[in-house]
Structure 1
Amino acid sequence: MMKNVKIILVAAILFGTLSSLSAQRIVKVYPRHGTVVTTLHKPKVVVHKGINFHFADGVWYKVRGRKYIVCAAPTGIAVRRLPRGNKVVIHNGRKLYKYKGIWYKKKGRGYVVINV
């Protein structure tokens, strides 16, 4: 009986350790261009060069019918705020911001997508 309890405890500890390790390996990566989603959480509509883009959780989308297609971040498009978790990076002496592989620079009261 005691042996079974020890085995269960060891298994529980091992499982808990593995679960916590896998939870720490979350990497924020931009989804593949062309990925289709049907709903977005609180998207911001941004008009750039006459085209409507939707910005949600740091990802840029174009609308196609009732679906959203992941697209590349248009260079020069501006947003008021960056998502939480963005990283401040000093690049060639300039203070830039990076989120999911997209680079932004501060401009006025917002942020603009740039190529680095």
Structure 2
Amino acid sequence: MKTILKTALIVFFIVFTSDGFSQRKTKAVVMKKTPRTKVVYKTPYRKIKTIRTVPKPTIVIRHKGANIYFANNRYYRLNGGRYIPTIPSIGFRISTLPAGYRLVNFNRHRYYVFNGVFYVKKNDEYEVVNPEIGTIIYELPDDYEKVTVNGETLYEHNNILYEKVQVDGTRAYEVVGTIEN
């Protein structure tokens, strides 16, 4: 009887005090919606590179009363006679995904991710959405920014906050929240 009780206590201790059975190692920072005033950027000002003409071929998509130009797997908007690289906003729809997208499954969602933009399929189109908290990606876009929120170092891209985690010994990034404007 003592041996059984001792074994049960050891198993209980191992299961509930170690994360040996967990595949993902994380600090479990859950931010959900964070006001922009609580986000501190490592680099307070970002240099924006503009171009005079959009590369050909160009697809023009009308969204919320403005033209968005898609060329060379990038989105642009016209501002003062120059084109500024942009990120499509939530609700933006396209008929064809950019070349090089990655498929990410989380819960019951199938996300198509390209350059930090998450799409879901709606009928015959793909709509830009915010991913669910807990979604894991393995690579951040080139233009992510390092930020601090409540003393925690996170990564931000397109108003989505990520935390660096380990998944099966590989570096990954978990969605921990979004920034409210």
Q: Same fold (TM over 0.5)?
A: yes
Change (3 A) 1:90 1:74: same
Q: Distance in 1 between matches of 2:155 and 2:120?
A: 23
Answer yes or no: is 1:43 the counterpart of 2:124: no
Q: Distance in 1 between matches of 2:115 and 2:145?
A: 14
Q: CA deviation at 1:79?
A: 0.1
Question: With CA pairs under 8 Å and 6+ residues apart, which has the higher RCO, 1 or 2?
Answer: 2
- Which amino acid in 2 is paired with 1:35? F
- Which amino acid in 2 is paired with 1:104? Y
Alpha-carbon displacement from aligned partner over 1:48-102 (angstroms, at most 9, x marks no partner): 1022111112111111233211112221101000000100112222110001111
Q: Distance in 1 between matches of 2:151 and 2:85?
A: 27
- On the 8 A contact 1:103/1:114 being kept in 2, the answer is yes
2:114 alignment partner in structure 1:
56
Change (3 A) 1:104 1:54: same
How well do the aligned residues superpose, as a CA RMSD in angstroms? Answer: 2.2
Q: CA deviation at 1:22?
A: 6.5
How many residues are matched? 95
Q: Distance in 2 between matches of 1:104 and 1:28?
A: 20
Q: What are the ranges of 5 or more consecutive residues in structure 1 without an aligned counterpart? A: 1-18
The counterpart of 2:129, out of the listed 67, 71, 83, is 71
- On the 8 A contact 1:89/1:96 being kept in 2, the answer is yes
Alignment of 1:90-109 (within 5 A): 90-108=148-166, 109=171
2:142 alignment partner in structure 1:
84
Aligned partner of residue 85 in structure 1, secondary structure:
coil
User: Higher strand share goes to which structure?
Assistant: 2
Q: Distance in 1 between matches of 2:152 and 2:127?
A: 32
User: Higher helix share goes to which structure?
Assistant: 1
- On the 8 A contact 1:43/1:54 being kept in 2, the answer is yes
Change (3 A) 1:85 1:75: same
Q: What are the ranges of 5 or more consecutive residues in structure 2 without an aligned counterpart? A: 1-51, 53-79
1:33 alignment partner in structure 2:
90
